[in-house]
Amino acid sequence: MGPTRARTRETHQARLHWTRSIPPMQPLRLGGYIKTAAMSAGDVGDSPLFVFDYALRLLRVLVLLALWRTILGGRDSTGPMSLAAVLSYTVVAEVFAEQLAVQTTLSLAFWEGTLVIRFLRPMGMVRQLASEMAGKWLIGLSLFSVPLLLVTPLLGVDPRPSSVVAGGLFILSLALAILVGLALDLFFGALTVALEQPMWLIEYTRTAVATLLSGSLLPLAYYPWGLGDVFSWLPFAAMAWAPLAIYTGTGQPLRLLIGQVLWVAVLWPVADWMWRSNREKLVGYGG
């Protein structure tokens, strides 16, 4: 066998090996993810004291509504939003609080050292985390969000969107906000591993910063010194401010939606790269 033929055979074998090393394309089996979501929703029985958490959330809404009425009530000019719009903003922010501040079970998996179980399943990691999160949302939406929406008129707030179009665009914007939130969650999860820091340290900091910068607590339009304009360009604003501003008819929908799409396009490759670069270190966290 001549050297050329031997080289050809080696190349062929190398190609064959390379081809075999690529995992075959798996069809997306939705059933598994739906089942995962259902199992996650079933976890609610493990902690029946979630009702306490809901009571605290309701109390927060009441305090914020009272605060806005104190600040804006009786003023000639209420600034960039009407009092009614601010009140709607506050209520809807709480109704969709979980969707506007996306948090998967990634941190919990770090904490409990159970990420390895998810690696072993023949399912996508992010899709698993998203399914678990969606399962938990079902409980929150049905037991807290919908009842809150129903009692909103009793609180003197009109929860309806500013227009039918705004309502439709809100759904689109909310979907984009969830995608941005998911990417950020993955990014911060990878960052926790990369920096080898306690996961709660990163999580607390992230939650605190996100609450402030996303506009989920206060509308960015009311931030002084033009800070709201600056913050509205950040990815955190794409998580909460954008959908809520569309809902209340405060911002320009097209600009807000384009901003969200851009952040989705930028954050997902970055988060994916961060995750792939650091997941090997997960062994230190019990995975």
Partner 1 sequence: MAVDSPFWRRACEKLVGEEDSGKRLLSLWRLYATMDLLFLARGPQVALTFYVSDFVVGLAAVTATFLLAERFDGIGPWTKPQVLFLLGYAVLVRGLINIFFSYNLAFISRRIGRGQLDHVLIQPQPLWMVLLTEGFAPVTGSGMFVPGLGLLVWAASQLNLEVPPTWYLLLAVDLVASIAVVLAFEYIVGSLAFWAPRAAEEINSSSWRLITQLAPFPLEGLSTWALGSLLTVVPVGLVAWYPARVLLGVGTTLWENAVLPAVAVVLVTVAFWIFSRGLRHYGRTGSTRYLDYGHRR
Q: Residue 219: which residues within 8 A CB-CB, separation 6 or more?
A: 80, 81, 86, 89, 228, 241, 244, 245, 248, 250
Q: Name the token pair of 17.
A: 């090996």
Q: Does residue 60 interact with partner 1 by CB under 8 A? A: yes
DSSP state of 82: -
Q: Which of 11, 52, 233, 277 binds partner 1 (CB under 8 A)?
A: 52
* Rg, the chain, Cα only: 23
Which range of residues in 17-25, 51-59, 90-98, 261-269 is near partner 1 by CB under 8 A? 51-59
Q: Name the token pair of 115.
A: 């990420």
Site string for partner 1, 213-252 (x = CB under 8 A): ----xx---xxxx-x-------------------------
Site string for partner 1, 175-214 (x = CB under 8 A): --------------------x-x---xx-xx--xx-xx--
Q: Which of 8, 13, 47, 252 binds partner 1 (CB under 8 A)?
A: 47
DSSP state of 121: S
Residue bearing tokens 């607590």: 217
Region of 256 please: left (phi>0), alpha (psi -120 to 50) or beta. alpha
Q: Which of 24, 46, 120, 226 binds partner 1 (CB under 8 A)?
A: 46
Name which of 112 and 280 has its Cβ closer to partner 1: 112
Residue of 190, 170, 194, 133 whose CA lies nearest to 244: 170
Helix (H, G, I), strand (E, B) or coil at 166: helix
Name which of 2 and 74 has its Cβ closer to partner 1: 74
Name which of 157 and 169 has its Cβ closer to partner 1: 157
Which residues form the interface with partner 1 (CB under 8 A)? Answer: 46-49, 52-53, 56, 59-60, 62-64, 66-67, 69-71, 73, 79, 112-113, 195, 197, 201-202, 204-205, 208-209, 211-212, 217-218, 222-225, 227, 286
